[in-house]
Amino acid sequence: MERLNPTTRLKRCLRKLALDQRGATTLEWALLLGVIAIPSYYIIQAALSALVAHYQMVTTLNGLPFP
């Protein structure tokens, strides 16, 4: 069995890793989830805070003593 220097072994390992296709679909779905779900979370939070502010304003106006 021939002995390889560390550089050659590292090159072989990196080439093998680069050609490996296992997990590609999972990575694609994770990226899609990150692109869609994370911004959606912040958009929903902004919409909810706007609704809460509107509800508080309406509640305050309904509590004013108009003659």
Greatest Cα-to-Cα distance within the chain, rounded to the nearest angstrom = 100
| Residue 5: inside a domain | no
| Residue 60: inside a domain | yes
| Residue 36: inside a domain | yes
| Residue 48: inside a domain | yes
Q: Which helix (H) or strand (E) holds 44?
A: helix 24-62
Per-residue pLDDT tens digits for 35-53? 999 999 999 999 999 999 9
Q: Does 34 have pLDDT greater than 70?
A: yes
Total domains in the fold of the chain = 1
Tell me, what's the pLDDT at 21?
A: 87
| Residue 50: inside a domain | yes
Joined together, the tokens standing for residue 10 give 């590292």
How many whole angstroms separate alpha carbon 29 and alpha carbon 66? 57
Model confidence band, residue 20 (pLDDT cutoffs 50, 70, 90):
confident
Can you give the residue range of the structural domain that contains 42? 32-67
| Residue 24: inside a domain | no
| Residue 6: inside a domain | no
pTM for this model (two decimals):
0.55
CA 49 from chain centre, in angstroms, equals: 21
Model confidence band, residue 1 (pLDDT cutoffs 50, 70, 90):
low
